[in-house]
Structure 1
């Protein structure tokens, strides 16, 4: 009985911590609005509230956690109104983005300025993630001081599909964050009325000591910014880099990144490349690193065995790798790529290459629900010998 009570208490604590620290939260708009209103209540009003209201506000704070994600035009407007009344001062992580084209209009951009300006004054953000933010509006809205203040606290910076006037402007923005040790850049582009300019020229430039770096520029978007030379151009200090994600498109670009990080103490590595040569570039560096985890993908919807033989040619022994993760996207209407999984099975089953391998994670996006059941069965069948070796195989749909 005592063990049962202890287990229940432990489960309850885990649930509470999970809710309080949840990064992604999907709530009905009316419930979210109620929570935000309580979060915005000032101290005088709170004292006058009933005990029930205080308890609800406490629950709201715990449930909402310290992460805030706003990526809808109406949500951004509400957030801008509430933040001026003192809301969200407890927030330490912010995802601010644009998912609707109407939100990129200048009249809606003012709400983004209010949110960024308020968090800049709070100086409480440790994580800032910006998605599809049109920095080309910087020419009309002076955010230089706001960005400088944000840079005094942020340690984790993410830029996903943001619009800059130029590559140099993106570099200037990044170097404004001296405390940043986690840097994520994916598919940023140039464009807008001020294309080619740099509204952030003259801001303080710092040398970032980056421990976790994720670079991606492999989409087909127009005016995509090439980030293969970012490490050199932004003067990043990667002497303590332990985690690297690289997906920069071609073998030539991959070579630029590989040359820059060849002497870094990388322990966690993820590579996605559309060319066998891209894999080969890093295969030559794997033996220099003390890798513990290796992630392959996401890439390659339909490739043959010859491709994989070329990609993994000369793969050195990786004695410290204990986990391999494979991220794979199936085509919407396509066959199970048996070549990929059979070759991967042969590679991972070799004890001379992966003597310490204990677990394997397979993260798949299936093309359709109709094919999912069949593909799962074929996947389990292909990985049978890996399981026989005693390696734990876990699957996750994405």
Structure 2
């Protein structure tokens, strides 16, 4: 009897030990699964907060005009709804719409003429307000919208003022001898003169008008600042006359410092105007991606280090890092790393501008980069992953047409997997 009881006890003991191991294993696996789910949830939440924008450029309006023979509020709303839904399907949460590409307007403005990109002729009313429709459609689909302006560009590839609308302030200023230098012709194009207070006031008022009258989430400015000069004319061309007449010129300060000051003055004034009008609206700039070019004495004249480390100029910087990992000297990873290091104060968010338009194309500097863009369907995906690794706050993709093109389709499909 004692032997039987001992056998029963051993059987029960072994069973309990086995069950205990099983319970322990289940507990560990449950904990592991829970930890994995939490990590996945955290990643999903981080992706939902991440800035994931795409540019809707002025030639995307041309595509609308080409697609619809009957152009009115209804067809434009239909077209832009397709734009927003395409962006949403890829995991985007913001659209950056071009509203002033050439000193004109994609909205009803008291400062700038209607854009030829929407109506076919500068100054001609298209019969509806594109920006009003775009803000309504974007928000109805749970997407933010930013209004994108080119600050100084008046006309590209032409210096003929007669081609401008009679209501264009650039044309009006040119007719008057006292204001003629508010607009400058240089290398076959027309620019507003950054050194003129009247010009700055016009641009700031144009921004205020957008923020006051439209439910935009942000104002976005791109890299069209000063044109590029060469070593022989850097001190004599463009706004050199204003420089020589200025206090800085009279004290023999650098013309480079003078030009940076003009851009800084405008940028700071825009930021102040936006915040004074609607504090929740953001103001960001998308400069060229190469910091050495931005800080050179021959082009742009933007004080990028000041902007990155101050809360008085911009809310975000979105450098256009439009190169691959195989670029001979401006490798995507090296340039990205340099930008993140430059933004050491963390006062300004850093988004990375990514070149969807290169994906699938035989483009780039040197055979290795061309091969990368042409053949590596993971190139866009890898750029996002690298940017996240380095702590950037989000991304902007150039541009809408290429997000839906057949040429970039494979790369965009892989990109979608890391954005959704």
Q: Is this a same-fold pair by TM over 0.5?
A: no
Higher helix share: 2
- The structure in which a higher percent of residues are strand is 1
Question: Which protein has greater RCO, CA pairs closer than 8 Å, 6+ apart?
Answer: 2
Determine which structure has more spread, i.e. the larger CA radius of gyration. 2
Shorter-chain TM-score bucket reads 0.3 to 0.5
TM (norm. structure 2) is 0.32
